[in-house]
Every structure is written in C-alpha cells, then in structure tokens.
Amino acid sequence: MRSRILSFTIFLILFLAFIETPSSLTSTADVRYRSAPWDPPCGLTESVEVLCLLVFVADVSVKSYLVGWAQFRMNLWLLAYLAVLVVSLMDWIVSLSLVCQEALDEPQDPRPGPPCPSAQPHPRWSLAVGAVRAHRHPTLLFMNLPPLRIRRLLRPFFLMQNSSMMKKTLKCIRSSLPEMASVLLLLGVHLCVFTMFGMLLFTGKEQGDGQDRERLMYFRNLPEALTSLLVLLTTANNPDVMTPAYSKNRAYAIFFIVFTLIGSLFLMNLLTAIIYNQFRGYLMKSFQTSLFRRRLGARAAYEVLSSMTAEGEAHRQEVGVRPQDFLQVLQKVQLDSSHKQAIVEKVHSYGGDLLPADEFQKLFNEFDKRVIKEPPPRPEYLSPFLKSAQFVFSHRYFDYLGNLIALGNLLSISVFLVVDADVLPEDRDDFILGILNCVFILYYLLELLLKVFALGLPGYLAYSRNVFDGLLTAVLLVLEISTLAVYRFPHPGWKPEMLGLLSLWDMARLVNMLVVFRFLRTIPSVKLMAVVASTVLDLIRNMRAFGGILVVVYYVFAIMGINLFRGVIMAPGNGSLAPHNSSAPCGSFEQLEYWANNFDDFAAALITLWNVMVVNNWQVFLDAYRRYSGPWSKIYFVLWWLVSSVISVSLFLALILENFLHKWDRRSHLQSLAGDPDTTCQ
Amino acid sequence: MRSRILSFTIFLILFLAFIETPSSLTSTADVRYRSAPWDPPCGLTESVEVLCLLVFVADVSVKSYLVGWAQFRMNLWLLAYLAVLVVSLMDWIVSLSLVCQEALDEPQDPRPGPPCPSAQPHPRWSLAVGAVRAHRHPTLLFMNLPPLRIRRLLRPFFLMQNSSMMKKTLKCIRSSLPEMASVLLLLGVHLCVFTMFGMLLFTGKEQGDGQDRERLMYFRNLPEALTSLLVLLTTANNPDVMTPAYSKNRAYAIFFIVFTLIGSLFLMNLLTAIIYNQFRGYLMKSFQTSLFRRRLGARAAYEVLSSMTAEGEAHRQEVGVRPQDFLQVLQKVQLDSSHKQAIVEKVHSYGGDLLPADEFQKLFNEFDKRVIKEPPPRPEYLSPFLKSAQFVFSHRYFDYLGNLIALGNLLSISVFLVVDADVLPEDRDDFILGILNCVFILYYLLELLLKVFALGLPGYLAYSRNVFDGLLTAVLLVLEISTLAVYRFPHPGWKPEMLGLLSLWDMARLVNMLVVFRFLRTIPSVKLMAVVASTVLDLIRNMRAFGGILVVVYYVFAIMGINLFRGVIMAPGNGSLAPHNSSAPCGSFEQLEYWANNFDDFAAALITLWNVMVVNNWQVFLDAYRRYSGPWSKIYFVLWWLVSSVISVSLFLALILENFLHKWDRRSHLQSLAGDPDTTCQ
C-alpha cells in the first residue's frame, strides 16, 4: 500500500513536466503551425508538486525512523534523498516567492510575436542564472532569461531512489566506468589521429579538385574536421563524407573505410563487451541474493518466535516455534490467500509439536509452488443435443476456426487497403468492406455467445485470451453500431465521411487490426518460435530497471535541453534568421523541415532526444543548433550521444544477452537432463 | 611449404577479379570522369587462372590419396572441392572456346559512347544467360549480354575450403540458422503488421494535410510502405519518415518510435544474442580441440616408434621409444630451431633408456614454453666518459625524451595545420615548418646513432620498437633530403610546389604523422589501458576466420552485382535517363552525386557493397537502382543487407564479446589467485 502511493507520487511528479509552463498541450510541436499552448493557472502545478514533496518527506522520515540514525548516516542513498528533498523544497519556496513571476519573465511564446534573436538567452548565461537567481532583481539584463529550476533536474532522483534494481544497475555501470573511460580514450586518440591525417590528406590544391571539394565541405578547419569524423563514427554521414574525394580517386575510400572499421565496428563494440562483462551473471546473482534474503528473514522470524516460546514455557528443553504462535502471526500478514491457505494446512499437519528450524524454513517453500487454478466447472446441460453442442464449441478446433475467420478479416482489410492505395480518398467505395465488416463482427459476437454457452461465464473469463477476445468484440460492436448510426447502412457508393483526426470508420478498421494479436498468441505454440517468444516475454519483465534508467536520463537531458535551447528554433519567415525552405541547401534542417524537433516543451524535447539517440541524420541537428544557438551546443549533443546511444544501447544489448543466455542455459540444462544433446557447435 | 603455395594460389585467383575484363585499373570509379580502363590482353588472366586451377587439382589429388577413397566419399568438403574444380575447369574451357569473344560481346564501356538504355541487359536475362551460354549463337537478342561466369562465383570456395577455422565458424552460423529464421520471421510479422497499421493510419484525406503528405511520400502503396518501414528498421531514414505526420500531430511519433523500439532495438539485438549464444566457449573449445589433437598425434607417434623398437629388439620386455630413433625422426622434421634444441637436450638427459609413454608426451610440453631471447651483450667501452655516456643513452629516460621530442614534432605539424586551414593553399608560407622539420629529423638521426652506440647494432635491432623507429628515421631522412634537393633550402616565403596526388613535401609530413605510433606503443604500459589494448591485439589475431568469411561474402555478392547491374548507372547528360544535378530532388542519388557507387568493376562494387553494409543512406541506393534497373533490384540489396549488416555485424560483435570475456576470465582468474577481489558487480 505504501509502495503503491509512493509509485503514484513519483509518477505524478515526473508527469508534471508535461504540464508545467513550457507546456506540451499543443497538437503539434512544429514551430510553423503551433498554436499558443494552454498554460496552467498560477499555483496549480506548484501545489501538486508540494503535495508530492510532502509525501517524500513523510517517506524519508519513516525510513530514517526505521533504520535509526546511526544507520542513516552511513546510507549514502538516504542522505542524498534528504539533501535532494531539502534543495527541492528551498527551490520551491523561491519559486513561490516570485508568485508566478517566472512565467512572465520567460520569453513569450514565439507564435504571437517572436522576440528578436539578439535578445535570446545565451545558453551559458542561463546556466549562470541558476546561481544568481535567489537574489536577482528584475534588471534589464536578466529580464527574460528562463530560470533554471534545479528541482526539476532533481526529480528523477526519486524514481531512482525507489528501485533497488535500478540502484544495482547503476552500480554495475559505475564499476565498468574505468574500462569504458579507457576505450573512450582510445576512441579519442583514434579520432584525433585520423583528423590530423585527414587534414593533411585533403589540403586541396587546385580549384575544383576532388581534394579541394573534400576540404571545403568536410575538412575546412579543425572543429569541422573533428565533427565530420565524429559523425562518421556513428556512420550517419557515411557515403557523403567520402563522396568528393572518392569521386576523384579510389584510394581515398581506404582512409574512410579504415576509420569506420576501427572506430565504429571495433572500438564501439568493445564498449558493449565491457558493459556486458559487468552484467554477466547479473540475473543469476540477483536471483541468489533475493533467495538469500528470504532465507535470512525466515531464520530471523524463527529466532524471534522461538524466543517467545522459550519465554512462555521456560521449563521446556526443546527449542522451536509453537504452531499456534506462527498461525497468529500469519493472520496479521498480508499474503496471497492461496499461499496462506497452503501454509496453514502444512502447519496443521504437524499437529501441536514445536516446529524445528529446518521444518520452519521448509514451510516457506510453499511460496515457490505456483498455484494452478482449476477452471471453474462447465455448466451441465441435460439435453443430449446441448451436450454435443457444448462439446463442439469448447473444442480447440472451434478456436482454430475463429482464428481462421479473423485471418480472413485481416486479409479482407489488407486487400482493400492495397486496392484503394492508388485511388484518391474521395473516390473510394467502401460498400463491400462495410458489408464484410458487419459479417465478421456478427461472427465474433456469435463466437463469444457460443463460448459463454459452452464454458459458462466464469469458465469463459478464466482464460485471459478469452477476456481479450471478448473485450475486442465488445469494442468492435460498439464502434460498428455507432458507425451504422452515424453513416447509415452500407449501400453502393457508400463513403463514410471523415471527422477529426481519425474518423469512426477508420477507427473501426484500426481496432479490427488488433485481431492480429489473436495470431501472435499462437506463436509460442510453434516449436521453432517457443524459445524466442518466451525470451521476449521474459525480457519485458526484466527490463524495468533499464527502462527506469532510460527515463531518468531522458528526463534530465530534456530539462537541460529546455533550459539551454528553448525558443532557439524559430519559424521561418517572420524575422527569424532561417531561410525559406526553397532556398535552403539540400540536407539542411530547413530543407528537411525538421521544425518540430525543438526544445520548446517537454514532449518535443523527448522526441528530439529520441531522434538524436537513433543517430541517423544527427549531423543535421548538430549543424542547425550550431547556427541557431552557438558552437557550444555541440557539447550537449555529443554528451547525449555518448550517454544515450553508446551507453544505453550497450546496456540494452547486455540485458538482452544476459536474459537470453540465462533462459537458454536453463533450457539446455533441462534438455541435457532429458538426454538431448547439447546444441552449441563443436 | 605446401600450405604457403596454396595460400598464394588462393590469393592470386581471388585477386584476378580486379584485373579481369571489367577491370578496376582506373583512377576513379565515378561514371562522369572515368577513363577507359586498361583491358588485359586476351588469354592473360585465363592462363593465370588455369595455372591456379591446376594447383588446386594437384592439391585435391594429394588429399584424396592421403585420406583414401572410402574417407574421401564421406567428406563433404572434399567432394564439394572436387565438384567446384570440375565445374570451374568446364567453365574455363567454354570461355577459352569463345577466344575472348566474351569481351567483345559485352556492352562497350560507357565512356567512349554509351549504349542506348533500351539495349541494356535486363537483370533477369543475364541470370538466364548462364543456362544458355554453352550453346548460344551470336544472335541479335543475346548479342550484348554479359555472360555469367560461374567459376568466378565459385572462387571464394577455395579460400573457405582451405581454413579449418572458417569451416568451424560456418558450422556455428549454420547451427544458429533455425533460431535466426524464427527471429527473422518475427521481424517479418512485425514489419507486415506495422505496414498495415501505417497504411490505415495514413490514408490521407484533404490535400496538403500531414497525413496526406505522409501517404504520398512514404506510404503510397504496399511496396513503398514496406520499403519505408524496412529502411526505418535500420534507422536509415529516421527523422525523415516521421516528419510529415509528426509536424501535423505529436501522436504520430508514437507509431514510429514503437516500431523502431521493437524492431531495431529489440528483435535485431535478439539476433545478436542468438549468434553469440552459438559462439560462447568457441575459443575455449577450439583451444581444447587443438590441444587434444596434438596429444593424439604425439601418442600416435609414440605407438609407431615403440613398435619400431619392438621389431628391432624382440627380446626386450619393456615397451618404449629408443631416444636415438626419436632423435633421428626429429632431424627430419621442420621445427623452430630453439624448440628443437630444447627437446634434443631433454632427450639427451634421459641417457640411453627407453622413453615410456608419459615421458614421451612430456617432451612436447617444451613447445608451450616461450623462448625468451636474451638481448645481445652491450659493447664494452674502456674510457669512463664513454661508459657514462653509454649509461645515459641506454637509460629509459632517454626513450622518454625521444617520445617528448616526437610529441613536439606532432604538435608543430598540428598547429601549422590548424593555422593554415583558413589560408588558401597558394598563400601558405612553409618556411618555419620546413626549418622545424629539418631540426626534428636531425634529432631522430642523432637519437638513432646514439642508441646504436650505446646498445651496439645487434642490441639495437633486438627490440622491434627500435627497428620501427630506425626505419621511420631512414624514410624521413630520404624524404627530407629529396625535398631539399627538389625545393632547395627553406627561405621565407618558401612554398614547395605540388606534384601529382601528394607532393613530396606532403608525403614528408604524412610520414611524420607515423610518429604517432611511438605514442600508441606506450598505451599498454598505462595500467588502465592494458587489458583493453591487449584485447584489441588478441582480437586481431583471432579475427582471421571472420575476415575470411567476410571476404567470401563480399566476393560472391560483388560478382553477382557486376553481373546484374554492370553499366546500369550512366553518366548524366549524354543520352542517359538521369536528370542533371541541379534539377534532381534533394536526397536523391543524382543530387548526392553518388555516381562512383556503381557495379561497373570489382573495386567499385566492393565500395558500393561497403556503403550499403554501413546502412546509412542505403535507401538512396535502393531508390536509384529501382529507377535505373527495375524493382527487382531491391531483392539483391535487401539480401545483402541481411547477410552483411545483420549477420556479419552480429558475428563480429559475438567474436569481440567472446575474445574479451575469454581474456577477462583469464585475467580475473589470475587476479583471484593473487588474492585480488572480483570486479564484477554484486
């Protein structure tokens, strides 16, 4: 209960970023089309925030009370928790004392009338502002600088603090830092050496020479050359960077290929190897640790309970736990009812004897036994006709028939999609598709009813796949009925009109596509797919810690990005420096119309960061932000590339490897027990 | 000796591809600037080829004689070897019977007068031609179709057949195929489902709508949509593909992000995990296998030798090997002389007794002992001044000083490079740099002489690093002297003229950059770098099998590509379909000037394949070859992507992981013996 409140609070305080002043509540992030966002009334987000902080204060005081002051002082995580809370609260008080002045101080939204570029906050200033904002005056200089709200940057700490898995993963990353630093150093040396070689190679002599064009485009000066090769390390400008020189002479290609081979294939993969090396046996060890903790807990419980027994009956020689004491304690503990029931039964089987330590431990093995729920009994029908009908409709071939019908449904949608692709939207005739859809939905309804008849309602709901099918059918039915109500019955030349983002009709088709999951469900039953599919499912379960770290990293960088680059990208045309689309050179930010990739609000910043993480075309971002915001913006993007693409992606791969190999080892262990030969080669 | 001849033959027959009729002997591959290539005289390559084939025939007959017919029939590799040889020879005879008609039949080189596009070979025809070419007549239809020379495709087989490591790696890949197929199936399902969803989402209603633009640009019809998402799977069109829809509404980004997350991060990495799973313990096992084979060989030798002893002296009861027999055999064996010496000494230490089996085995342990060469004695000088000078110049601080000077040299070059970057090449003044270069080279010469004086010439040459430094100094000296001879002594306003690709002067600077390796040499002595650096060195050693497979794959695909797409890309302007550069849309093959990426000769095909393997911008290639050659060309490129990028890169990563972990395990094993704590987390 406590942990659930805490989780919700963490979610809430993190979610605030979407609503707070550079709010993300516009339909698009594109600076050309964006409308003025809705701003929350003054004090709304602040009051939600203080409520969350108070919950954390309560949490930290409970925790410090539980562990005691001596322990508390030793626990770095708890100390940091306290410090973050204090800083956040102070920052909050400062915000409050300005009574929403912050929002007014900030640069106006670019849409109504963008400020002139010279008045834009310089990125380095806004960092400095963090230091001076406590005692700042509304002077002209600091008038429209966005304040750096430190507490926003600190928020992800609450998420990290709350998960032991994340702390463990963080520890793993930290312990691989020295080796990663050495590989990064090698990478740096590699980059520098090749930059020097490149600048010597492409000195450029005659005008219009291949060397000369290479120099002018990619090796103009040291920062330019470094950036070119850094981007080549991510292969994001691969054929382009070698094109001018390679067109002149084949031999120049060798320079770029050797660079990519060493840098991108060799050193980058070495980073992955280093991270994976730290994660080997990670799952196995965390499994062992949790088992060890449980055994320790059980043993402690045994000691406490047996000392109670000894107190009560001082004359008894034997040491052990009285079953009634144990049952009494068990009543007060929150446990899964089926497990509790099993333990109580086990305890009763001992009679009134004292439980010795090993028997006491064995009791807890009941937790490992999975409860197999018996499906509720089927309804009993008397008539033989009903009985045979029940047999038919509860048979698995009936399931297969349903899947087949669903496949037909999918195929019909796909065929119409392909046929209609070349027809303009206005000329499409949805008559046949409308009829077909009705038929399919009627079949699904029939299937639902027949299954309920055969299995009984409790029996039907006992299988999660039936619940999914039932829900899908219900949603489809509602959508179909409303479609019919709005557009009338299908007739030749029937064209459901379009409303809003997706019309009701399109929605019905989209939901129909969810029928796909009926097939995905059959994948694990194909032998070839079984391991892969179950690995995928397991992975998702074990991925939480990684997901948490990703959230933290994204959050911190997004908030930093908003503080550094908010309002830097401005719509072309009215007073901004950006040229019009038609005049922009090929491959530039403006020509590619990346206007939506800005840092003007939290959601937009997330997508921008995602695009940089995927690395493709990130040189466009580097170049655009260099032009709009200054050369130092490169540091931010390169740092983000290192953190996200290099470290996170390696971490992800390491987790996948670890999960897969763990699974595989257990499977091949089971197989070797069953006498199957090992499947690894040689 | 035999194996060396064989390796050379394999190298030769593979190298032929660069010289054979679509010969790569032009300075550029760019169709706009390419001159007519030199064609080898008729019969030259054919005669070299038949010589190589005859060597292989000799090899296969020796092998079949050695293993015997019964074994030969069971050995699939040898049977395939024979079959490949027979097919190659037949193909060669067919080529010969046409007496270089092939070359005349082929389309003329585009440069002198490109054939009209309608006469271009259709890719599917050229495949069919392989079947009919044995009895083809110079009819009008087949007049200028390039023949498919099967033997060229088969050549890499000789490389594969010759290496047991490659066969083993191939076996590993083959045994992971079923699981890879299941992941690829999942990938296919994923792609299809999202294509359908995408086409439903982006149906496009009003003109100029975001959905409409998305549809028109990326989801026009089924093949187009599939290609868009397939390319997104490689992240090569990442922000572009989502830009039109995302500019309209933020929510559309979710579609693309989910697709990339599942496909690119999840399923692709699963492929890597599967391949790595097969390679785990690969090094360890191959190590064990080779040890086992050696022991088996030693044991067999023992049995043979001891049976000789038994024959010679039938009355002796003991079983064993007479030392003199063994020494006699040893004289005939080709061995490292130092190892041979050690074994002979060991045998002599036994006296004349018979060697029992275990002692015989122990003799071969001498091979594992590394020979530590004693450095030759230093020259002894009599004068105390010379003695102290010898001490100074052989001290390691003198080495450090040399490195420092070299660093200064590097820095001076770099500084001038950066300073000169903004100056046009004609206006540069190389006076100071010329003087500095002279000074540095004089220092290197002095250092060389002093070291030779201190260590003596044999002592100097005993260290490989000294050999490297000496060679570098010699090359620099020669270059400097010729520079001075050509350009005279430096004077203010001194500007060495430019000659050819790189002037003598630039060459001197480039060679100067090799001084960098003096520093890279110091890396392993830094503790942090030691493991990483030694892993890198080990990796290169263990990478041969992987490199071989890569060569095979590249070779086969390059030959196939030449047969399918030769002459398809034509220079813009004279009669070709390609529009001029200025009118080409942004991001197209023509605008990006990728003209050099064609399949007109072997070297160009290799670079083109490399560029597709690196994946970035491969959609440009897909699009260009679709336009110039037909929609079926996509299959070739997608196949190449699957084989190279997906499988090879995974294989590479697996090898790196395996090497690193093997190394690491050994190191931490040594550390734990020494009492150091384990470094993995938790």
Q: Note the pLDDT tens digit of each residue in A461-492.
A: 877 778 888 888 888 888 888 877 777 666 66
Residue B286 has what pLDDT?
72
Find, in chain A, the residue whose alpha carbon is nearest to that of B582. A586
Find, in chain B, the residue whose alpha carbon is nearest to that of A269. B653
Give bridge partners of residue A287 from the DSSP assignment. none
Tell which wins on pLDDT, B311 or A42: A42
- Mean pLDDT across A121-143: 41
pLDDT band, very low/low/confident/very high, at B496 (cuts 50, 70, 90) = low
Residue B101 has what pLDDT?
62
Task: Give yes or no for residue B210 having a pLDDT over 80.
Answer: no
Domain span holding position A324: 283-368
CB contact B217 to A (< 8 Å): no
For residues A352 and A392, state if they share a domain.
Answer: no
Evaluate whether A413 touches A513 at the Cβ level (below 8 Å): yes
Question: Structurally, how many domains does chain B consist of?
Answer: 4
Evaluate whether A156 touches A10 at the Cβ level (below 8 Å): no
pLDDT tens digits along A372-409: 666 677 778 888 888 888 888 878 788 888 888 888 88
Task: Give yes or no for residue A682 having a pLDDT over 90.
Answer: no
pLDDT band, very low/low/confident/very high, at A102 (cuts 50, 70, 90) = low
Residue B355's CB is within 10 A of a number of other CB atoms, namely: 22
Residue A169, in any domain of the structure: no
Residue A130 has what pLDDT?
40
Write out the two tokens for A376.
Answer: 């509720």
Tokens 């940091």: give the residue.
Answer: A80
- Strands (E) across B477-583 are located at none
Choose among B83, B111, B91: nearest CA to B49: B91
Q: Percentage of chain A with pLDDT > 90? A: 12
CB contact A411 to B (< 8 Å): no
Residue A280: list chain B partners with CB under 8 A.
661, 680
Any residues with CB less than 8 A from the CB of B215 and at least 6 apart, and which?
A: B202, B203, B204
Q: Which candidate from B200, B531, B603 shows the least CB-CB separation from A506? A: B200
Residue A605 has what pLDDT?
93
Task: Give yes or no for residue B136 having a pLDDT over 60.
Answer: no
Residue B577, in any domain of the structure: yes
For residues A430 and A509, state if they share a domain.
Answer: yes
Task: Give yes or no for residue A249 having a pLDDT over 80.
Answer: yes
Mean pLDDT of chain A: 78
Query: Per mean pLDDT, which of A39-53, A201-215, B301-315, B581-595 is the most reliable?
Result: A39-53
Evaluate whether A253 touches B604 at the Cβ level (below 8 Å): no
- Mean pLDDT across A424-449: 80
Tell me how close the Cα of B196 comes to any Cα of chain A, in angstroms. 7
Residue B142 has what pLDDT?
41
Residue A525 is classified by DSSP as G
- Integer Cα distance of B593 and A248 in angstroms: 12
Residue B493 has what pLDDT?
62
Residue A576, in any domain of the structure: no
Tell me how close the Cα of B342 comes to any Cα of chain A, in angstroms. 34
Residue ending a domain, choose from A521, A554, A570: A521
Tell which of A199, A259, A653 to mutate to test the B interface (max B CBs under 10 Å): A653
For residues A430 and A517, state if they share a domain.
Answer: yes
- Integer Cα distance of A310 and A186 in angstroms: 66
For residues B206 and B138, state if they share a domain.
Answer: no
CB contact B30 to A (< 8 Å): yes
Evaluate whether B29 touches B603 at the Cβ level (below 8 Å): yes
- Integer Cα distance of A291 and A295 in angstroms: 6
Q: Where are the alpha helices (DSSP H) in B264-395?
A: 268-279, 282-312, 323-332, 337-349, 357-363, 384-394
- Mean pLDDT across A108-127: 41
For residues B185 and B162, state if they share a domain.
Answer: no
The amino acid sitting at A389 is: A
Q: Annotate A481-497 with three-state secondary structure.
A: HHHHHHHCCCCCCCCCC
pLDDT tens digits along A147-171: 667 888 889 999 988 887 788 888 8
Any residues with CB less than 8 A from the CB of B485 and at least 6 apart, and which?
A: none
Residue A401, in any domain of the structure: yes
User: Angle of helix A504-513 relative to helix A431-461, nearest 10 degrees?
Assistant: 50
Mean pLDDT of chain B: 78
Residue A353 has what pLDDT?
73
Residue B528, in any domain of the structure: no
The helix/strand/coil state of A355 is strand
Report the sign of the C-alpha dihedral through residues A359, A364, A368, A373, in that order: positive
Q: Percentage of chain B with pLDDT > 70? A: 78
**DSSP assignment of A106-135:** SPPPTTTSPPPGGGSPPHHHHHHHHHHGGG
CB contact A506 to B (< 8 Å): yes
The helix/strand/coil state of B274 is helix
Residue A513: list chain B partners with CB under 8 A.
193, 196-197, 200
CB contact A101 to B (< 8 Å): no
pLDDT band, very low/low/confident/very high, at B53 (cuts 50, 70, 90) = very high
Write out the two tokens for A545.
Answer: 């810690």
The helix/strand/coil state of B321 is strand
Tell which wins on pLDDT, B343 or A608: A608
* Beta carbons of A597 and B239 less than 8 Å apart: yes
CA–chain centroid gap for A25, Å, is 21
CB contact B222 to A (< 8 Å): yes
Min mean pLDDT across A489-498, B124-133, B489-498, B499-508 is at B124-133
Q: Determine which helix (DSSP H) or strand (DSSP E) holds B620, and give its type and residue range.
A: helix B618-629
Residues 240-259 of A with CB under 8 A from B: 240, 243-244, 246-251, 253, 257
Residue B220 is classified by DSSP as S
Find, in chain B, the residue whose alpha carbon is nearest to that of A30. B247
- Integer Cα distance of B571 and B594 in angstroms: 11
Task: Give yes or no for residue B359 having a pLDDT over 50.
Answer: yes
Residue B221 is classified by DSSP as S
CB contact B201 to A (< 8 Å): yes
Choose among A170, A164, A166, A161: nearest CA to A6: A161
Residue A529, in any domain of the structure: no
Instruction: List Cα–Cα distances, A256 to A211, A250, A471, B609, in angstroms.
Output: 14, 11, 56, 14
Tell me how close the Cα of B8 comes to any Cα of chain A, in angstroms. 23
Instruction: List Cα–Cα distances, A534 to A129, A283, A524, A572, in angstroms.
Output: 52, 16, 7, 50
- Mean pLDDT across B260-269: 87
Write out the two tokens for B453.
Answer: 């004086």
- Mean pLDDT across B571-592: 69
Instruction: List Cα–Cα distances, B474 to B409, B441, B519, in angstroms.
Output: 16, 9, 19
Residue B291 has what pLDDT?
81
Choose among A281, A421, A300, A285: nearest CA to A361: A300
Tokens 């516009």: give the residue.
Answer: A26
Residue B415's CB is within 10 A of a number of other CB atoms, namely: 11
For residues A430 and A507, state if they share a domain.
Answer: yes
Tell me how close the Cα of A376 comes to any Cα of chain B, in angstroms. 35
CB contact B1 to A (< 8 Å): no
Task: Give yes or no for residue A314 having a pLDDT over 70.
Answer: no
Residues 162-191 of B with CB under 8 A from A: 168, 171-172, 175, 178-179, 181-183, 185-186, 189
Residue B527, in any domain of the structure: no
* Beta carbons of A239 and B414 less than 8 Å apart: no
Residue B451 has what pLDDT?
86
Any residues with CB less than 8 A from the CB of B9 and at least 6 apart, and which?
A: B52, B55, B56, B158
Residue ending a domain, choose from A462, A495, A521: A521
CB contact A664 to B (< 8 Å): yes
For residues B392 and B513, state if they share a domain.
Answer: yes
For residues B469 and B605, state if they share a domain.
Answer: no
For residues A356 and A390, state if they share a domain.
Answer: no
Angle (nearest 5°) at CA B224 between B221 and B230? 135
Report the sign of the C-alpha dihedral through residues A465, A466, A468, A472, in that order: positive
Residue ending a domain, choose from A368, A403, A436: A368
pLDDT tens digits along A288-300: 787 888 888 888 8
Q: Which candidate from B199, B614, B679 shows the least CB-CB separation from A175? A: B679
Virtual torsion, Cα A586, A590, A592, A594, nearest 10 deg: 160
pLDDT band, very low/low/confident/very high, at A359 (cuts 50, 70, 90) = confident
Residue A351, in any domain of the structure: yes
Evaluate whether A268 touches A287 at the Cβ level (below 8 Å): no
For residues B256 and B356, state if they share a domain.
Answer: no
Report the sign of the C-alpha dihedral through residues A589, A591, A597, A598, in that order: positive
Evaluate whether A190 touches A267 at the Cβ level (below 8 Å): yes
Query: Per mean pLDDT, which of A115-119, A454-458, B204-208 is the most reliable?
Result: A454-458
For residues B394 and B516, state if they share a domain.
Answer: yes
Tell me how close the Cα of A588 comes to any Cα of chain B, in angstroms. 10
Query: Per mean pLDDT, which of A36-40, A140-144, B241-245, B348-352 is the most reliable?
Result: B241-245
- Integer Cα distance of A273 and A266 in angstroms: 10
Q: Which candidate from B175, B513, B656 shows the least CB-CB separation from A681? A: B175
For residues B354 and B427, state if they share a domain.
Answer: no
Residue A85 has what pLDDT?
92
Instruction: List Cα–Cα distances, A546 to A171, A175, A551, in angstroms.
Output: 13, 16, 9
pLDDT band, very low/low/confident/very high, at B570 (cuts 50, 70, 90) = confident
Q: Where are the alpha helices (DSSP H) in B364-491?
A: 384-394, 396-420, 431-461, 464-487
- Integer Cα distance of B70 and B590 in angstroms: 60
Min mean pLDDT across B193-197, B269-273, B457-461, B642-646 is at B457-461
- Mean pLDDT across A354-366: 76
Residue A250 has what pLDDT?
86
Tell which wins on pLDDT, B521 or B462: B462
Evaluate whether B599 touches B566 at the Cβ level (below 8 Å): yes
Give the helix, strand, coil percentages of chain B, each rounded to 5.
Answer: 70, 0, 30
Tell which of B657, B658, B666 to mutate to test the A interface (max A CBs under 10 Å): B657
Q: With 0-12 CB in 10 A as exposed, 13-18 as middle and 19+ as buried, what is A405?
A: middle
Instruction: List Cα–Cα distances, A496 to A197, A425, A430, A489, A541, in angstroms.
Output: 64, 11, 8, 10, 42
Task: Give yes or no for residue A124 having a pLDDT over 80.
Answer: no
User: Angle of helix B602-613 relative to helix A238-248, nearest 10 degrees?
Assistant: 160
